[in-house]
Amino acid sequence: MRSTTAGRPSGTTSDLSTRARIRDAAVERFARDGFGASLRAVAADAGVSAALVVHHFGSKDGLREACDEHVLEQIRTAKHDAITGTEAGAFLQYFATADRYSTAMGYVLRSLLDGGPLARGFVTHMIEDSEEYVASAVAAGVAVPSRDERRRARYLTLSGLGAILLSVTIDPPEDLSDVSASMRRFFDELTLPALELYTEGFLTSRRMLDEYLLYVGDPPAGPGAPPA
């Protein structure tokens, strides 16, 4: 997904700018209307012809591949900066500007709703990225190590995506195309309990963990992981 070169121009800076403009227009259009949106609609949003979209991306699948790559990079950067930022007010600054990521999150939501192999691959890449930025957080001393970093990263990703999907499913917005309002409501409702759980914990003892480890056998501890 990230190594695509289909339709990649080899020419000028203006070519690259046009490609980026088409890609950004497609991300926004897909976030608003879903992946049934036509190349003609994307082209109109970008102010170019449908033929130029095909010239740069080869096909609608190629365009979606480029959109996936771009959205994943946005999420990867935002998550890494938010979780590893150690300066006072870094998270508040991220939260205050969360609306700028609303289109990316709307795109993620559309991908989940669309399902199929493309959505599965998209989520797999999100899990892999989560492993990287959680590892950075552990190395920076802002997150505790885990006995199984890979499974923790998978849980964090799936629980976050599941919360978004379930929230929109049981309480759908009147207009799913209003991505910004939907994502802001999601952030407002879930940020406090999520931060409480991740920062202060939930259980008052480790009894359940100890019983589980006794039942399944203590997994091999990663570097710096808590003792059994």
Instruction: Give the pLDDT confidence of 140-162 residue by residue, as tens digits.
Output: 888 899 999 999 999 999 998 88
> Which residue range forms the structural domain that includes residue 199?
65-216
The helix-helix angle for 39-46 and 50-57 (nearest 10°) equals 100
pLDDT at site 35: 92
Provide the residue type at 178 as one letter: D
Instruction: Let me know if residue 144 belongs to a domain.
Output: yes
The answer as to whether 3 is a domain residue is no
Give yes or no for residue 87 having a pLDDT over 70. no
97: confidence class by pLDDT, cuts 50, 70, 90: low
What is the pLDDT, as a whole number, of residue 99?
A: 62
What mean pLDDT, rounded, does the chain reach?
80
In this structure, is residue 58 part of a structural domain?
Answer: no
* CATH classification of the domain holding 105: 1.10.357.10
Does a structural domain hold residue 14?
no
Tell me whether residue 170 is in a domain: yes
In a domain, residue 221? The reply is no
What does pTM read for this prediction?
A: 0.71
- Is the residue at 57 inside a domain? no
Residue 207 has pLDDT above 90, yes or no: yes
Task: Return the sign of the alpha-carbon dihedral for residues 45, 24, 108, 9.
Answer: positive
26-51 residue pLDDT tens: 999 998 888 999 999 999 999 999 99
Q: Is the residue at 27 inside a domain?
A: no
Nearest to 112 by CA among 102, 120, 100: 120
To the nearest 10°, report the CA torsion of 68, 36, 184, 100. Answer: 50
Task: Report the domain count for the chain.
Answer: 1
Written as six digits, the tokens of 70 are 């771009």
Which residue would you say has higher pLDDT here, 95 or 208?
208
